[in-house]
Structure 1
Amino acid sequence: MYISRVKIDLDNRKNLRDLSHLGCYHGWIEDSFPEERGKENRSRKLWRIDSIHDEYYLLVLSEKKPEESILEKYAIKGSLETKDYDPFLEKLKEGMRAKFRIKLNTVKSLADRSQGRKRGRLVPVPLDELIPYFLSRAEKNGFHVDEDDLRIVAKSKELFEKQDQEDTRIKLDLVSTSYEGFLTITDLEKFKKALTQGIGKKKAYGFGLLTIIPCHG
């Protein structure tokens, strides 16, 4: 696998117009793998926008190397970095402690049996439930986080647009919560799956990419 990072050029007004919602970013990333164009089954890509000192970076985890010229389409030229992710994965061990960051589409299913539905409707997770919401998902994905080592660094709604079968444009607000903290790997197999396949919903649209920096010493 490969992990890539590029600095987005948001001083360019055209870029601001072209990247007006999450679906635009999704299209940009998919276009960066031209060998998959037209294929029904495309490889999985996880991605996230990170803000660092008022500058914005696109982070992409992919099975194949992206086409550099396309992934730099809306970026500062020469800012793209792509690294082989497999050697990093091979160094991970159970018991290892690491700093992490992740952005999740924080929704939950609310049971609604009044109309005979088998599945409940999705609603935003209330503010006072966001910490336990994350902690419960951590254990399922092979890592443990102490509540004192977890913090919410951002919470917002992000615009996503799509066209339905009748070509009607639909606008959706996707709730977003970004978490940072320190974790301990408890199940290596589950943890590697979480790193490479993502956590939660809407992974194609910028959610669920877990990144870590191992602690040393």
Structure 2
Amino acid sequence: MYLSRVKINDQNRRLLKDLNHAGAYHNWVEHCFPEEIEQQKRLRHLWRIDYLSGERYLLVLSENKPDLRQMEKYGVPGTAMTKDYSKFLDNLTTGMPYQFRFTGNPVHRVAPADGGRSKTYPHVTVAQQMEWLSDRSELNGFKLHEFNVVNRQKVMLRHHNSRPVKLSCVSFEGMLEITDLNKFKAALINGIGREKSYGMGLLTVIPYRG
């Protein structure tokens, strides 16, 4: 596994015109793996947009190394980098505290009274969104300690020949403790929740140094 990032070139308005919805970012990520495209492989690449010191970064988790030149298509030249994530995964320890960052799509399904097909609706309050993540912690091998919602937004998604939709995108930060190492590693690699192709589901952690 590889974790890669690049600073998004927010100063180039011409380039930013292409990145006008979540599907465009998804397309950018997919084209960072030209060999997979040539071989017609459809591997999952988790990604999200991070905000660090006022700058935006594209963060990508993938099974194969990305093409850093393709990562810099909409990025600042010279800022793309990648590292072997497998070594980090191997050093994770049950019971140790970690700082985490996670961006997800907190939703719930509601079945109509007439017994028809259930529909998916976003959670709209901070309390609902935090409860949504709490409800998924044990299933994914971790226990939450202190955590907060640090960003909430609606991201546009456009599909061909269909009306655009808005996806609820919520970012969380805080502290967690690993309770089941296998489940936790699976959550890191496979993501949590829906809309993983569109910038959600990626959980990352760093050891707590307090």
CA contact (8 A) 2:68 2:81 kept: no
Structure 1 residue 39: Cα displacement? 5.2
Instruction: State the TM-score, normalized to the length of structure 1.
Output: 0.92
Give the one of 118, 123, 126 matched to 1:125: 123
Bigger shift: residues 50-59 or 123-132: 123-132
What CA distance in whole angstroms lies between the structure 1 residues aligned with 2:162 and 2:17? 17
Count how many residue pairs are aligned between Structure 1 and Structure 2.
Answer: 209
Instruction: State the TM-score, normalized to the length of structure 2.
Output: 0.95
2:83 matched residue in structure 1: 83
Structure 1 residue 51: Cα displacement? 1.0
Identity of aligned residues (%): 45
Show the 5 A alignment for 1:1-217. Answer: 1-37=1-37, 41-114=41-114, 116-117=116-117, 120-127=118-125, 128-146=127-145, 149-163=146-160, 168-216=161-209
What CA distance in whole angstroms lies between the structure 2 residues aligned with 1:39 and 1:137? 35
Kindly provide the CA deviation profile for residues 11-58 of structure 1, in whole angstroms up to 9, marking residues without a partner as x: 101121010010000001101111121555411100000111221000
Structure 1 residue 216: Cα displacement? 3.7
What CA distance in whole angstroms lies between the structure 2 residues aligned with 1:84 and 1:113? 50
Bigger shift: residues 122-131 or 187-196: 122-131
Structure 1 stretches lacking a partner, 5+ long? none
SS of match in other structure, 2:168: strand
Structure 2 stretches lacking a partner, 5+ long? none
Bigger shift: residues 184-193 or 36-45: 36-45
- Specify whether residues 115 and 136 from structure 1 end up closer, same or farther in structure 2 by C-alpha distance, changes over 3 A only: closer
